[in-house]
Amino acid sequence: MCGIFGGIGKPDPNVIRLLAVCNRDRGMHSWGLFNGKNIVKDAGDPKTGLPKVPAEFYDGATIMLGHTRFATHGLKTAENAHPFNISGMVGAHNGVISNNHDLQKKYDLEYAVDSQAILWMVANKGIDSLSEISGTCALWWWYKNKPDQVRLLRNSGNPLSWCRDGETIYFSSDADDLRCAVPGVETASVPTKEMYTISAPRLTLMKRKVTIGGAVNMGFRGTPISYGSNGGWVNQDAGRLLDQWSRNPIAMCPGCYHTQAHYGYSYYQPFEVTCSRCCTKFEPNKHSVYWRNYQDLCNCSGVGCGICARTDIIDEFGIEAFDDAEEKICTA
Closest CA to 192 of 160, 219, 149: 160
Please identify, among 145, 180, 209, the residue that sits at the C-terminal boundary of a domain: 209
| Shared domain check, 134 and 109 | yes
262 pLDDT exceeds 50?
A: no
| Shared domain check, 124 and 93 | yes
| Shared domain check, 113 and 60 | yes
Alpha carbon of residue 105 to chain centroid: 27
- Domain assignment present for residue 95? The answer is yes
- Domain assignment present for residue 112? The answer is yes
Give per-residue pLDDT as tens, 264-284. 434 444 566 666 556 667 776
- What pLDDT is stored for residue 73 in this prediction? 79
What residues are paired with 274 via a beta bridge? 281
| Shared domain check, 239 and 192 | no
- What pLDDT is stored for residue 256 in this prediction? 59
Q: Find out whether the peptide bond into 201 is cis, omega within 30 degrees of 0.
A: yes
Task: Give the structural domain span for 129.
Answer: 3-209
Least confident of 53-62, 145-154, 230-239: 230-239
Whether pTM exceeds 0.95: no
| Shared domain check, 224 and 204 | no
| Shared domain check, 235 and 188 | no
- What pLDDT is stored for residue 25 in this prediction? 81
Phi, psi torsion values for 7, nearest 5 degrees: -140, 140
- The sign of the torsion formed by the CA atoms of 248, 178, 155, 298 equals positive
The runs of H, that is alpha helices, within 193-312 are 238-246, 261-264, 291-298
- Domain assignment present for residue 223? The answer is yes
Least confident of 114-118, 152-156, 162-166: 152-156
Q: Do the Cβ atoms of 190 and 150 come closer than 8 Å?
A: no
44 pLDDT exceeds 70?
A: yes
Give me the mean pLDDT over the 285-299 stretch: 46
| Shared domain check, 135 and 16 | yes
| Shared domain check, 204 and 84 | yes
- Domain assignment present for residue 203? The answer is yes
Give me the mean pLDDT over the 128-157 stretch: 92
Greater confidence, 126 or 202?
A: 126
Query: How much is the mean pLDDT over the chain?
Result: 74
- Domain assignment present for residue 214? The answer is no
Give me the mean pLDDT over the 67-76 stretch: 86
Give me the mean pLDDT over the 229-253 stretch: 44
Distances (CA, A) of 229 to 25, 224, 233, 251, 265: 21, 9, 10, 19, 10
Please identify, among 209, 241, 275, the residue that sits at the C-terminal boundary of a domain: 209
| Shared domain check, 263 and 184 | no
| Shared domain check, 187 and 110 | yes
**The total number of structural domains that make up the chain:** 2
- What pLDDT is stored for residue 178 in this prediction? 92
| Shared domain check, 166 and 20 | yes
In the chain, what percentage of residues exceed pLDDT 90? 44
| Shared domain check, 203 and 224 | no
Q: Do the Cβ atoms of 195 and 127 come closer than 8 Å?
A: yes
- Domain assignment present for residue 228? The answer is yes
Q: Do the Cβ atoms of 36 and 61 come closer than 8 Å?
A: yes
- What pLDDT is stored for residue 287 in this prediction? 60
Give the span between the Cα atoms of 212 and 153, in whole angstroms. 9
Q: Which CATH number does the domain housing residue 62 bear?
A: 3.60.20.10
Sheet bearing 187-189, strands edge to edge: 39-43, 30-34, 63-69, 3-8, 168-172, 161-165, 187-189
In the chain, what percentage of residues exceed pLDDT 70? 64
82 pLDDT tier (thresholds 50, 70, 90): very high
Please identify, among 191, 209, 227, the residue that sits at the C-terminal boundary of a domain: 209
Greater confidence, 256 or 126?
A: 126
